[in-house]
Amino acid sequence: MVLGGMRGMIGLLWETSLLDADEGIRFRGLSIPECQKVLPAAKSEGEPLPEGLVWLLLTGKVPSKDQVDALSKELRVRATVPDHVYRVIDAVPVTAHPMTQFSSGVMALQVQSEFQKAYEKGIHKSKYWEPTYEDSMNLIARLPLVASYIYRRIYKDGNVIPVDNALDYGANFAHMLGFDDPKMHELMRLYVTIHTDHEGGNVSAHTGHLVASALSDPYLSFAAALNGLAGPLHGLANQEVLLWIKSVVDECGENVSTEQLKEYVWKTLKSGKVVPGYGHGVLRQTDPRYTCQREFALKHLPDDPLFQLVSKLYEVVPPILTELGKVKNPWPNVDAHSGVLLNHFGLTEARYYTVLFGVSRAIGICSQLVWDRALGLPLERPKSVTMEWLESFCKRANA
């Protein structure tokens, strides 16, 4: 476990979600299909509103539509970003990766931290959760404005689109990015909801929890989490999937045959690379987040050529990875599908995709941070050992 990235080592309390290797993620005990069924939606038979998941993760209870509407309104009220935040982002080269700009923007927001102000005034530790809640809600509310500003700055000549107070959280985010197709609004609601949380051991969630355990405020903690999310082995994977799929099209065409696809997959593997979007550190079945996105595609874009290619990959890749014999989970994860959906509705800039992931992941990380402070969880300080210590331990164990 020490040499294997602590895989399977239980060492964190994470109230908001739990990941089962076979069943997938459960948010406060509810699976993704159950969330789609019980959480309020913007329209009949529509995707759940992300505000509903905010309520669920924070309280452990399924909200009513009236409660979700009230939360939507509260988040809109909180969604004010000071001008200095945009100036900080503008000081970063426009060529910088969107995640670099996003992390910079979050750090610039930190000067408004209610927790920092309260701590400096001497707040009692039993009350730490209150300013943490205020910071968390403010951060969740403001992130779509910062994220959309970065998108418009990089890709749309800086033509910023203001908030539409008639729209919910997910639809407003899509609107500020520049997408007003009702189907894209539905996709953004689904995307934000399913990417919010994935228990505490993944890099971004664990990083946020670790940094917050030092009583760093939610802005500092989430900025650190974003820097972990930006890694190729974590959130950057959703960018890599679409780029890889487009490389298949470039070499083989959109109407690629199953045999051509098999050859391309083997070519990728033999070059020492992985097939992005397949495999997971915990899951041992198809990721339910992949499945619900596939269902969305079957409903809204069944004839999209890249979706059809993704469907062929679902048939081709797992048997090849199984034959390879080195992969514990040959099944697709959440990243295998999201890029194709976004691409269909016009959000084609793959470098930006991890920012979308970051906006969503804030909901899970911040919800847990409130509970970290409410429960009075301590500074995280695991024990490390040297290679010499490990070697001695093994020798004693085998003596």
Q: Which of 175, 206, 209, 234 is catalytic?
A: 234
Residue 250 falls in the annotated catalytic set: no
Higher pLDDT residue, 94 or 240? 94
β-bridge pairing 30-31 and 17-20: unpaired
Quick: pLDDT tens for 351-398.
999 999 999 999 999 999 999 999 999 999 999 999 999 999 999 999
In a domain, 392, yes or no: no
Q: What is the CATH number of the domain that holds 156?
A: 1.10.580.10
Residue 226 near residue 358 (C-beta atoms within 8 A): yes
Mean pLDDT along residues 328-348: 89
Same domain, 221 and 244: no
Q: Which of 175, 206, 209, 280 is catalytic?
A: 280
Same domain, 103 and 155: yes
Q: Note down the domain range covering 201.
A: 24-232+351-375
Same domain, 213 and 243: no
Q: What is the CATH number of the domain that holds 312?
A: 1.10.230.10
Higher pLDDT residue, 210 or 4? 210
Quick: pLDDT tens for 116-158.
999 999 999 999 999 999 999 999 999 999 999 999 999 999 9
In a domain, 1, yes or no: no
Same domain, 43 and 166: yes
Same domain, 167 and 138: yes
- Structure-block tokens of residue 329: 């989970």
Residue 124 falls in the annotated catalytic set: no
Q: Which of 135, 197, 287, 335 is catalytic?
A: 335
Quick: pLDDT tens for 287-298.
899 999 999 999
Same domain, 173 and 293: no
In a domain, 171, yes or no: yes
Same domain, 284 and 357: no
What pLDDT sits at residue 283? 67
Same domain, 285 and 190: no
Same domain, 224 and 248: no
Same domain, 174 and 262: no
> Considering the entire predicted model, what is its pTM?
0.93
In a domain, 218, yes or no: yes
Q: Look at the chain and report how many structural domains it folds into.
A: 2
Find the DSSP H helices in 199-304: 203-212, 218-229, 237-252, 258-270, 288-300
* 193: phi then psi, degrees, rounded to nearest 5: -65, -45
